[in-house]
Copies of this chain bind each other. A is one copy, B any other.
Amino acid sequence: MKLNVDLQNHSYPIYIERNTIQKVHEYIPVTRKIAIITDTGVPEKWVNIVKEQCPDSFICTIPQGEPSKCFDQYKNLLEEMISHNMSRKDAIIAVGGGVVGDLAGFVAASYMRGIDFYNIPTTVLSQVDSSVGGKVAIDMGSYKNIVGAFWQPKTVIIDPNVLSTLSLRQQHNGLCEALKMGLILDDHLVSLFEQETIDIDAIITRSIELKRDVVQQDERESNLRKILNFGHTIGHAIESAYGLNTYLHGECVAMGMLFFIEDKTLKQRVLNIYKKLGLPQVPNYDTSTLLEYVTHDKKSSHNTVSTILVEQSGSYIIKELSFKEIQEVLERGPYEE
C-alpha cells in the first residue's frame, strides 16, 4: 500500500508492502550517482538487491550500533561523498535501522546543503517509527541526537520481508515504539498486541499511519510531535546510564513508559504485553544518576520537563514536571502506582 506524507514543500510517499525492496528502481530515480549507506548488521543480501537496481552506485558500510552515530562516522561519510564526486543532483539511500537512517539522513541533509535522501528501513523499530518524520541526527558523547536536522526523505520503502533475518528480541524491541504509539493515540493498535498471533504487517501499517498524522500536523516538533517522546525521558536516561551492551532502545522506552502510565488496569495490560514480548525488567537504578541524565536531556529547559502521561489507552496528557516531581516518580518506581 502507499501512504502519502503531506508537508508543505516536501511531501513524500511511503510504500509498505512485502517484496517492495525488489522495486526500488520503480520508486527511486536511479539514473544518477547513488550512495548506499548501511551497516555491518544488515544482511548483504538486502543491500545487494538494492545495489543491483542502481547502476551507478557505491556502498558505504559503517559498524553496527549506536556508537556509529558519531562525529567521526559523519565526517568519514562526507569525505566518501566528496571522494565519489557526488553532486547536488545525486542521492543517498539508507538501508538499515535507526542508526543508519539518522546518520545517513544527516549526511544527506548537510552535504552541499542537502541532497535527496531515501530510506529503506530494515528493522522493526525503523519500520514502525523512525524512518518517517525527517528527524536525523548524530550523538556527541552521551548526548543523544544533539546535532542534526529536520530533513524529510524523498520516499520511504518498507518491506516487512526483510525483518525475517532479525532475531525475535530485535523484532520485539522494535514493537515497543509501535506500542507507545498505540498507548498515546490509538487503543486499537494496543489491542493488536493482545491477539493470539501478532500481525506485524498490520502493526507497521497502523503505526506509520499514526506517525504520519502527527508529523503532518507538526513537522518541526514545535508542540504536538513531543507526544512521541512518551517514555523517552526516563527511557533515554536508563539507556544512557545502564543500557550500553545490555538493553536495546525500544526496551528502554518500554521501561520509561511504565513510570508514566497512571492507571492500574492499563499498567497491568501493558505488563502482560511486555511479558508476551519477553521484555526485560527495569533494572535497579540509582535515582540521582537517572535524574542527572534527565536534567541534561535536550527536551528540558529551565527547571521543568515536558512529560507525557497516559491514563487511558489511546490518549495522553502533557504535564510540565519539575525536577523534584521527576525525582519523586523515580523514587516511587516503575511498578508502583
Q: Which residues of A does B touch, CB under 8 Å? A: 8-9, 71, 75, 78-79, 82, 85, 87-89, 109-114, 135, 137, 140-141, 143, 145-150, 220-221, 296, 298-302
Contacts and interface: CB of A to CB of B under 8 A. Distances in A.
B110 A147 contact: yes
Given A82-B140, A149-B149, A298 B112 contact: yes
A298 B87 contact: yes
B296 A85 contact: yes
A64 B89 CA distance: 33
Chain A, interface SS category:
mixed
Given A87-B301, A88-B301, A301-B88, A109 B146 contact: no
A143 B78 CA distance: 11
Contacts of A146: 78, 82, 111-112
B110 A148 contact: yes
Contact of A140 (B78, B89, B135): B78
A79 B220 CA distance: 23
Contacts of A111: 146-147
Given A78-B140, A112-B146, A113-B137, 10 more contacts: A71-B75, A78-B146, A79-B140, A82-B143, A89-B301, A110-B110, A110-B148, A113-B135, A113-B149, A114-B220
Contacts of A85: 296
Nearest to A302: B87
Given A8-B8, A75-B71, A301-B88, A149 B114 contact: yes
